[in-house]
Structure 1
């Protein structure tokens, strides 16, 4: 499919300009190319068939692109969304796919091996399909298993105390370990539960909710 209207959000100038050139060579029209998600605004004036965006964008490089993409999908469902990320971010992928309505894609930048791959992905999401990198699919399937099973006995102890509202220093006193050891356990818990850092939610709260839902 040629002649699509594409909007791009990418903070790297080189990547953004390179993507614009590639899209134009493919016969598409780039209606906007921004370096941050704030430029999209509420999306009401965007005249595009698809938005291509990174996940981590200025100012905090956390989930600004995802937040913008989810809002656009809610308010302008006729506009498809293709996320291009450097990392496999399972939580973000699940949130983006939660509606199950299609017209969405999540690909890893360094695994797009040809211009045709990019063109095919854009065409498929605009046509109503879903395009996912195999690594993203693998992580989504892995997330279907109970993540608490991966925790060690000590990590479970720490999570229980977190659920009681204990701070890291208080947990250290209860377990007779150093605060640094507790912080290491907490980071490991976040990683095993798939809780990437997000500006929208507190990972500590999300970890506790996961524990309470399964205990």
Structure 2
């Protein structure tokens, strides 16, 4: 089974390479940033990719966005993301396409070798693996139901968004115009208190709110 690793910490990346090789994986490439990862995926067409959430140059979200871009370029590419901490937004963004073959684990799970290797194999086989702490945060429910303030039509739109539908698909399914859907989506963002400053993630956050409702 061929693997591409994206990890900027040399000690950890070397350890992962040795560990996976010992467990029968073929490590096709080890990269340290998003562009290098995307190039390696395009060249080697791995069976599974292992990616750190935070990569150079800003160490914020380069890794997760590189993983998402790689899955768009190679639909269904299995990706297991490693993170030092639970980052709810990024975990939700990774699984939001609903295709499977994804995983999100905290780095301390790597030390549990058998569990880690099993998780990587399950992701490679098309399964979804989520760290228990990640699941706990994704399913944390607010004291009130924020969805209660939406109109029935807005709830229909949000439900379709949760299925991974884009605005054009929502419009087609509900037999309305895309402009109408755009207005509904804007209303949903406003009622859920999602700031325009979060424009790159508001859709994902809205879906997570819907999925974690009481």
* Same fold (TM > 0.5): yes
Alignment partner, residue 186 of structure 2: none
Q: When the two structures are aligned, how many residues end up with a matched partner?
A: 160
* Aligned: 1:98 with 2:93: no
Alignment partner, residue 17 of structure 2: 20
Distance 2:100 2:34 in 1: 22
Pairs within 5 Å for 1:51-90: 51-90=49-88
Distance 2:92 2:55 in 1: 19
In the superposition, relative to structure 1, how do residues 202 and 125 fare at CA in structure 2: closer, same or farther (>3 Å)?
Answer: same
* Aligned: 1:9 with 2:9: no
Q: 1:22 Cα shift?
A: 0.1
Gaps of 5+ in 1: 149-192, 196-200
Q: 1:26 Cα shift?
A: 0.2
Gaps of 5+ in 2: 147-192, 210-214
Q: 1:202 Cα shift?
A: 3.8
In the superposition, relative to structure 1, how do residues 30 and 206 fare at CA in structure 2: closer, same or farther (>3 Å)?
Answer: closer
2:7–2:33: 8 Å Cα contact kept in structure 1? yes
Question: Deviation per CA, 1:58-98, whole angstroms, max 9, x where unpaired?
Answer: 00001000011001111112420000110100000110000
TM-score with structure 1 setting the length = 0.65
Q: Determine helix, strand or coil for the equivalent of 1:44.
A: helix
Distance 1:204 1:147 in 2: 22
1:86–1:108: 8 Å Cα contact kept in structure 2? yes
Q: 1:7 Cα shift?
A: 0.4
Alignment partner, residue 122 of structure 1: 120
Pairs within 5 Å for 1:53-202: 53-142=51-140, 202=197
- Superposition RMSD on alpha carbons, in Å? 3.1
